[in-house]
């Protein structure tokens, strides 16, 4: 590796370490919260809590603009040359996107709540679907705040809000277990955890902006509401819809399993996925740390380093995947038994299917950020849409026939389709020495038109 690539890997692994430490602590707290909540509420009521939260989260992620990605994609060059006016306009643009997404999410949640309350098992004995909980979607969008922390290389601060949310839930679950809280009480606890994380992210982002030399005098006031950067809207739409469909698909699969097999099966399926995804999480944490570095290499037209970084990461992921499979086979069933008090028998097959799915998702670690940084986000979106057109009906069909094993198999085949939709465009581009025609806009980070697109 040349010196530039060595320095890049040092930053990526350092920032990944920050993210991994925070996410690891959050995951441990989440597992502890799950175990306590299941014992306090029972598996069925916990499944209802999970489905209600999955519904509200689905409304949020399905309407959320991924504001941190345009902030990095187009703001990196502006930040490096301390172009305060243009950067402030872009930052305000991204903050507006967060607010718009939250309001759209609340509207969708209110319109869909009454029908879905019956569909995924909200019992009549509890009265009306808890409409007050739906307002939690107003506190789920923090993309622009995270973008500020990642752009300024303050990854150690970007995990604090998630950690705080996990601590609030865990301490609350201890209290709920001891005091015999009801389902409504646990809903209030989940709500408080989202509000705490939202508030902390906003405070940290404002602090970072006020203590960054290149942004001294930064203000969101006195600048246009929307940025005139060329290509910004198309890029934002592509990455936002792709990520929305990705996260929405995960939550919708839980809802489909709940509708077909009941709340208990939905809880088992979701926790199995959490275990499988958690074992693969260390490598997945590399994606947000890698993306800004690829944007910087793209701005420098350093195609050789981009190719070298991608190949090295793919090699490392091969070895890591073997470790994950072995851990799932020997540790996963025991962990599932401890968390949900379900028998070991029948869980290993589902765990292996879900772990293989998580491994396929791992191989997106270098592919997705490199395609996004090279303005191929629309190709990722097309691949996602094509896959989802068959994956959810396929999930419903296989779950109806083979139960939990069918649900796991359908999830695996869906992820395989997503992976192939990323691998294909990368292989086509990599045939050219300098990634010829890789970007439709040769300088997206600094290309600004005279009027809005």
CA distance 294 to 309: 9
When pLDDT is cut at 50, 70 and 90, the band that residue 450 belongs to is very low
Binned at pLDDT 50, 70 and 90, residue 320 comes out as: confident
Which pLDDT does position 337 carry in this prediction?
65
Contact 425, 375 (CB under 8 A): no
Structure tokens at 224: 């246009």
pLDDT tens digit sequence for 15-49: 888 887 887 788 788 888 888 998 888 877 888 88
Q: Above 60 in pLDDT, residue 440?
A: no
pTM for this model (two decimals): 0.70
Rounded mean pLDDT, 386-412: 87
> In a 10 Å sphere around its CB, with 0-12 CB exposed, 13-18 middle and 19+ buried, how is residue 330 labelled?
exposed
More confident residue, 322 or 213: 322
Which tokens belong to 431? 């045939």
Q: Let me know how many helices (H) and strands (E) the chain has, helices first.
A: 17, 0
Long-range contacts of 136-139 (CB under 8 A, 24+ apart): 136/56, 136/190, 136/191, 136/194, 136/195, 137/56, 137/59, 137/60, 137/102, 137/105, 137/106, 137/109, 138/102, 138/103, 138/105, 138/106, 139/102, 139/194, 139/195, 139/197, 139/198
DSSP 122: -
Which one of 151-165, 260-274, 426-440 scores highest in mean pLDDT? 151-165
pLDDT at 249 over 80: no
**What pLDDT is recorded for position 170?**
94
Residue 173: pLDDT band with limits 50, 70, 90: very high
- Would you say residue 446 has pLDDT above 50? no
> In the prediction, which pLDDT does 168 show?
94
Tell me if 391 is assigned to some domain: yes
Q: Is the pLDDT of residue 73 over 80?
A: yes
Domain membership of residue 328 (yes or no) is: yes
Q: Is the pLDDT of residue 128 over 60?
A: no
- In percent, the amount of the chain with pLDDT more than 90 equals 11
User: For residue 82, what are its two tokens?
Assistant: 């301390």
pLDDT at 219: 67
pLDDT of residue 342: 55
Q: Is residue 58 part of a domain?
A: yes
H or E, element range at 246: helix 232-261
* Per-residue pLDDT, 175: 93
Q: Long-range contact list for 91-95, CB < 8 A, 24+ apart? A: 91/144, 91/148, 91/218, 91/220, 92/220, 92/223, 92/224, 92/225, 92/227, 93/225, 93/226, 93/227, 93/232, 94/65, 94/67, 94/68, 94/70, 94/143, 94/144, 94/147, 95/67, 95/144, 95/220
pLDDT band of residue 447 (cuts 50, 70, 90) is very low
Task: Give the total number of structural domains in the chain.
Answer: 1
Q: Considering the domain boundaries, does residue 438 fall inside one? A: no
Highest average pLDDT, of 53-62, 219-228, 310-319, 361-370, comes from 53-62
> Which of 65-74, 266-275, 363-372 is modeled with the greatest confidence?
65-74
**381, two tokens:** 């979106």
Compute the average pLDDT of residues 190-196: 94
How far apart are alpha carbons 56 and 135 in whole angstroms? Answer: 9
Band the pLDDT of 169: cuts 50, 70, 90. very high
**CB atoms closer than 10 angstroms to residue 263:** 23
Secondary structure class of 135 (helix, strand, coil): helix
Sequence-ordered list of residues with C-beta below 8 angstroms from that of 220, at least 6 positions apart, any chain: 88, 91, 92, 95
| Residue 445: per-residue pLDDT | 39
The residue count of the chain comes to 453
Query: Which residues 6+ apart lie within 8 Å of 376 measured at CB?
Result: 425, 429, 438
Residue 452 belongs to a domain: no
* Range with top average pLDDT, 20-29, 133-142, 282-291: 133-142
Mean pLDDT of the chain: 79
Q: Does 370 map to a domain? A: yes
- Nearest Cα neighbor of 48 from 107, 106, 104, 124 is 124
Question: In terms of residue numbers, what domain contains 9?
Answer: 3-430
Does residue 451 surpass a pLDDT of 50? Answer: no
pLDDT at residue 369 is higher than 60: yes
Does residue 437 fall inside a structural domain? no
- Report pLDDT for 343: 54
Confidence label for 103 from pLDDT (cuts 50, 70 and 90): very high
347 pLDDT above the threshold of 80: no
Which single residue is written with the structure tokens 């643009």? 93
- The torsion angles phi and psi of 248, rounded to 5 degrees, stand at -65, -40
* Of 198-202, 307-311, 352-356, the least confident: 307-311
The per-residue DSSP string of 370-402 comes to HHHHTT-HHHHHHHHHHHHHHHHHHHHHHHHHH
pLDDT at residue 82 above 80? Answer: no
439 is a domain residue: no
């Amino acid at each position: 590796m040349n010196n530039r690539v060595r320095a890049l890997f040092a930053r990526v692994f350092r920032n990944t370490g920050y993210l991994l430490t925070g996410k690891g602590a959050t995951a441990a707290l989440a597992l502890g919260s799950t175990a306590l909540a299941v014992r306090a509420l029972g598996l069925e009521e916990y499944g209802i809590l999970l489905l209600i939260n999955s519904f509200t989260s689905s409304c949020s992620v399905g309407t959320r603009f991924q504001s941190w990605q345009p902030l990095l994609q187009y703001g990196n060059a502006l930040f490096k040359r301390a172009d305060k006016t243009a950067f402030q306009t872009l930052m305000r643009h991204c903050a507006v996107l967060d607010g718009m997404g939250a309001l759209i999410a609340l509207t969708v949640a209110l319109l869909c709540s009454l029908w879905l309350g019956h569909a995924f098992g909200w019992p009549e004995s509890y009265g009306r679907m808890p409409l007050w909980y739906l307002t939690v979607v107003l506190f789920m969008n923090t993309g622009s705040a995270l973008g500020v922390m990642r752009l300024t290389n303050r990854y150690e601060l970007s995990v604090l809000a998630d950690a705080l949310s996990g601590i609030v839930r865990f301490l609350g679950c201890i209290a709920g277990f001891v005091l015999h809280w009801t389902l409504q009480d646990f809903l209030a606890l989940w709500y408080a955890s989202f509000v705490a994380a939202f508030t902390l992210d906003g405070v940290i982002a404002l602090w970072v902006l006020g203590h960054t030399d290149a942004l001294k005098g930064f203000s969101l006031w006195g600048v246009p509401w929307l940025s005139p950067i060329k290509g910004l809207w198309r890029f934002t739409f592509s990455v936002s819809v792709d990520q929305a469909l990705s996260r929405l698909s995960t939550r919708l699969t839980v809802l489909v399993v709940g509708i077909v097999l009941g709340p208990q099966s939905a809880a088992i399926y979701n926790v199995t996925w959490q275990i499988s995804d958690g074992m693969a999480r260390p490598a997945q944490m590399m994606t947000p740390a890698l993306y800004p570095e690829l944007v910087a290499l793209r701005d420098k037209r350093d195609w050789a380093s981009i190719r070298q970084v991608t190949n090295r990461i793919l090699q490392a992921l091969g070895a890591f995947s073997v470790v994950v499979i072995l851990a799932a086979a020997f540790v996963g069933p025991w962990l599932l038994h401890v968390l949900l008090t379900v028998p070991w028998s029948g869980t290993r097959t589902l765990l292996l299917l879900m772990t293989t799915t998580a491994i396929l998702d791992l191989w997106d670690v270098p592919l997705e950020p490199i395609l996004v940084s090279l303005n191929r986000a629309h190709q990722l979106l097309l691949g996602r849409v094509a896959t989802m057109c068959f994956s959810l009906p396929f999930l419903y069909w296989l779950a109806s026939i083979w139960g939990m094993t069918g649900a796991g198999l359908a999830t695996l085949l869906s992820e395989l389709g997503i992976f192939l939709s990323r691998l294909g465009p990368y292989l086509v581009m990599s045939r050219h020495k300098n990634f010829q025609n890789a970007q439709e806009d040769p300088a997206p980070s600094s290309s600004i038109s005279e009027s809005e697109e």
